[in-house]
Structure 1
């Protein structure tokens, strides 16, 4: 069955998070996703708060930009969250937006090399292994977590380029695809992920999460038109967003699911007039129509 989620956009102030999280939990939403966009809100900080305010909601962070974070710190924080809230946190890592990385002096000359080294070290640390590494970017000297996760610790990767998609298939436990990924591109990306999985001999499940630009209610068409222009999708024939009622949303989710998405995360516009109402709409009106 397709998993359905929404995003708490970091353009909203952090003090709005509690009410939206509780709305999501009460409405029966499956997943709420958070972002660590520069220079807005910390992904793991908000995730820990959201998880603490709920009892059943799964919370995803999609994604943590690895140039910003020493891998040992990431492992410590992720492990803490996994132990505090078993089975409810979903963590994705990725290159980050390169212009932002440049602003903070963390831009890597080879983002792919960094992501490979980082993912290998992070997964080993979360498995409780003692790690020494002298890579181009990741350098660890006999590092191990005192409090590694007590259960599975899956790490997803955000990916867009062909090489990163193959890397995700090779090393990660799932892949996050950005908003603006149409169904045809989901199919293509899934094939590239599978190439990486095949090369690594992996046969375990590999869920694909995709963000889908979405708007409903008053002014939805106008808000989405502005959002599409902002992201560079002015051609209305490109299937990269959904507007309308619950039936339109359910039909769109079905298209992305048929293309290979296991989780569809409906991404409201930053100027949505009622973020809590959007969450209730997805959980109470769209979810029953999604197989």
Structure 2
């Protein structure tokens, strides 16, 4: 069955997050996804808060920019979340927005090399291994987590370009695709991920998560069109309408190869709590 989630955009003030999280939990939402966008707020801090405020809700962070995070620190934070809230956490890592990385002095010459080194070290640390590496960007000297998760968790990676998508297949346990991905784009990404999995000798499961821009309620068509103009995306991307219309779009992306579809509201969504209720209570029953 397709997993259905919703995004809590980082533009939502932190003091409103508890009400939204509890609304999502009570409504039965499968997953609530959070972003670590510069310079809005911490993905790990908000994830911990949401997990603590809720009882069953799964929380995804998509994604942590690896140029901002030493891999040992990332492993410590991720391990802590998994030990505190086992089975309820999905963490993704990725290149980050390069302009933002340059703003903070963290931009690297080869983002793909950094992501590869980070993924390999991160997965090994979370598996409880002692890691020593002297890479181009990642350097560790006999580092071992004292309290790794009881079971090595899946580490997801976000990607758009062909090289990064192949790397996801080779070195990550799942792939996160942006809301700029059409159903055909999901199919193409799946093929590139599989190329990477073959090259890396991977035979374990590999999930694909995709964001889907969505709007409902009064003015939905206009809000969606304005958002697509703002992002410069294909006018055919996204979906606006009632629950059945949105569910049919979710099915199209799922049939293209997405295991998890995460509905992403427009920046001007007037009712974030209503959006997660709509996703859980009206769209979820129509998605198989």
Give the TM-score, by structure 2 length: 0.99
Counterpart for residue 263 of structure 1: 260
Shift of 1:226: 1.0
Equivalent in the alignment of 1:287: 284
Can you list the C-alpha shifts for 1:133-156, whole angstroms capped at 9, x where unaligned? Answer: 110000111111111111131100
Q: Find the residue that maps to 1:203 and give its secondary structure.
A: coil
Encode CA deviations 1:89-144: one digit per residue, 9 max, x unaligned.
00000000000000000001000000000111111111111111110000111111
Q: Secondary structure at the match of 1:212?
A: strand
Q: For residue 59 of structure 1, what is the aligned residue in structure 2?
A: 59
Alignment partners' CA distance in 2, 1:71 and 1:203: 25
Give the structure 2 partner of residue 202 of structure 1.
Answer: 202
Q: Cα RMSD between the aligned structures?
A: 0.7
Q: Counterparts of 1:219 and 1:206 in 2: how far apart (Å)? A: 37
Structure 2 counterparts to residues 92-241 of structure 1, below 5 A: 92-233=92-233, 235-236=234-235, 238=236, 240-241=237-238
Q: Which residue of 2 aligns with 1:37?
A: 37
Deviations 1:5-44 (A, max 9, x none): 0000001111111000000000000000000000001000
Question: Once superposed, which parts of structure 1, at least 4 consecutive aligned residues long, lie more than 3 Å away?
Answer: none
**Cα displacement (A) at 1:65:** 0.2
CA displacement at 1:180 relative to structure 2: 1.3
State the match for 1:243 in structure 2.
Answer: 240
Q: TM-score, normalised by structure 1?
A: 0.98
Q: Which 5+ residue runs of structure 2 have no aligned equivalent? A: none
CA–CA distance in 1 between the matches of 2:152 and 2:104? Answer: 33
What SS does structure 2 have at the residue aligned with 1:217?
coil
Within 5 A, what are the aligned runs for 1:86-97? 86-97=86-97
Unaligned runs of 5+ in 1: none
Q: Any idea what the Cα deviations from partners look like across 1:212-261, whole Å, max 9, x if unmatched? A: 0000001111111110011102x53x3x1000000100100010001000
Q: State how far apart, in whole Å, the 2-side matches of 1:264 and 1:71 are.
A: 28
What is the alpha-carbon distance in structure 2 between the residues aligned to residue 77 and residue 285 of structure 1?
34
